[in-house]
A and B are shown apart, each in its own frame.
Chain A
C-alpha cells in the first residue's frame, strides 16, 4: 500500500485519537485547521466533537468549500458522530449547518442524553465476522437514506453506519477503541480509483434489511 496522506479536521473534538489510529494503520496523518491544507490530501476525517461548534467554525474560517472540492475530486471522507452529522444532507428538525456530501438525513442526540449513551457489539459484514465494539455517545442516527447509500451496520433496526461512494459515516466512535478495522476500511476507500458516486439525491425512509 502506498502511504496515503490523510487529514483530520481539528477545529474541535477528538482529532488526536483519529490521528493516532490512522498512523497505526500506516498512513501519514495530519491535523487540519486551514482550508489550504486540504489540497494535498488523499482523504479527510471529520472527528467526533460538538457538531454545532465544528459547523460554525467550518463556515467562519472558510473550510466548507475546500472540503466540498476535496469530495468532488473523488477523495475519501470519513465522519464519526459529529462528523456524520456534518457530512449529512439534512439534519432532522434543525437549521444547523451541514456539508451535504452524503444522501442521508440524520437525527441528533437520537438515543437521548449522556446517561443514555451506551456500548454495543455491532455486526458489520464489511469488516468480517468479528463484531465491532461501538461507543455511542449522545449519538446521532440515520433517519433516511438515499438510493445510492449502502448500509454498513444497523442497531435495533436503525442505520448507524453507511457509505456512499467514498464517503463513510458512523454514529459511533471508532477513534475511542483500539479496533482499527474501520480506519483500515476507510483507507481502502481512499485508495480506490473510482470517483465518488454523484448524481441527484433521492430520499426514502430506511425500512430495514
Chain B
C-alpha cells in the first residue's frame, strides 16, 4: 500500500503538525456540541446559524442514501468545497471504510475531519484505513468498546456510536452507547492481571486498555450518532454519557429544519434541564419519518458494516 504521502507528524515552519493531541484536541473543542449533515451551502449556513459546532458535507443525507440503494461513495469534491466556502466552522466529510484514497483526496481538499463511515458502501471488507498516516483527524463509528478501541488503535481521534443511520430511530444509538458505557465501567474495575485476557476477548489493543484504566475514561471523545431526530433524542444521548451529537437526516428531513436545528443545539447544552427541554421542543413541526429497525433486513443495516 502506498503511503498517503502527506503523513502525520509533519515538521514545518509552523512547528509540529498532525500529532495525535492536535487531532484529538479538535474533537475536544467540539464537546457538548451538535454536528449536522448538510448537502448544500444554504443548509450549511442554516446549521452554522443554529449553533452547530461543525457540518458534515454530503451529496445525500443517510435517509436518501438508504432510499437510493446502490453504491454510496465519497461526495463530489465540488460539493464539499462549496460547503467549506460557505461556513467558518469545521467541515467534515465521509470516506468509505477502507478507502484510503478517498481519505487522501479529502485531506488534499483541506477538510477538517474525515468520517470513515458505514453510511457509505465499504471499499474493504477486512481492513479499515490506517488513520495514523494522515495529518487530518478521523472519526469512526463503533457499537461497543472493542470496536472503538480498534479504531483508536488505527489512529481515530474521535469515536461515535454507529446507531442505525437514516432511520430517525434512536434505539440503536442508545444500545451502542449503553454497551460502550457498561464495558467501560467493567474495564475500570478489572484487575491488572485480567487485562490481557479482556483485551483478547474484546479484540482490543492491550496498551489502550491499560491507558483507559489509568485515565478513568476513553482517551478520545465519544459522540452519539445514528437515528437522532428530536431535541429529546439528543438530550437522551447526552444523559447516557455522550460527549456530543451528530444529527444526520434528522434536521433537513424534518418540516422545519431551522427551528429543529436550533432546538437540538439547545437540547445538547441543557440536556439535564427538563423545563428547558420542554420549552425548546415546542412547535417544531413534524420530525423526519421514522423506520422500525426490524423492517430493515440485516444485510441492509449500515451498522453491520466494518468490524
B-binding residues in A (CB < 8 A) = 10-17, 33, 48-50, 52-53, 56-57, 60, 81-82, 94, 108-109, 111-121, 135-138, 156, 173, 176-177
Q: Is the Cβ of A118 less than 8 Å from the Cβ of B90?
A: no
Any A CB within 8 A of the CB of B16: yes
Any A CB within 8 A of the CB of B30: yes
CA distance A187 to B89 in the complex (A): 31
Q: List 11 A-B contacts (CB under 8 A).
A: A12-B269, A48-B29, A49-B33, A49-B53, A94-B88, A108-B88, A115-B112, A119-B17, A136-B15, A138-B90, A176-B21
Size band of the interface chain B makes with A: 35 or more
A-binding residues in B (CB < 8 A) = 12-19, 21-22, 25-26, 28-33, 48, 51-54, 88-90, 107, 110-113, 135-137, 265-266, 269-270
Known: A57-B269, A109-B88, A114-B137. A119 touches B26 (CB 8 A): no
Using A113-B90, A115-B18, A119-B21 as known contacts, list a sample of 8 further A-B pairs with CB atoms less than 8 Å apart, ordered by residue number in A: A10-B32, A50-B90, A57-B269, A114-B111, A115-B107, A117-B22, A137-B25, A177-B21
List B contacts of A156 (CB < 8 A). Answer: 13
Q: Is the Cβ of B22 less than 8 Å from the Cβ of A118?
A: yes
CA distance A82 to B89 in the complex (A): 11
List B contacts of A177 (CB < 8 A). Answer: 21
Q: Is the Cβ of B53 less than 8 Å from the Cβ of A12?
A: yes
CA distance A119 to B20 in the complex (A): 11
Which of A60, A114, A177 has the most CB atoms of chain B within a 10 A radius of its CB?
A114
List A contacts of B26 (CB < 8 A). Answer: 114, 117, 137-138
Known: A14-B31, A33-B270. A50 touches B16 (CB 8 A): no
Known: A14-B28, A116-B14, A138-B90. A50 touches B33 (CB 8 A): yes
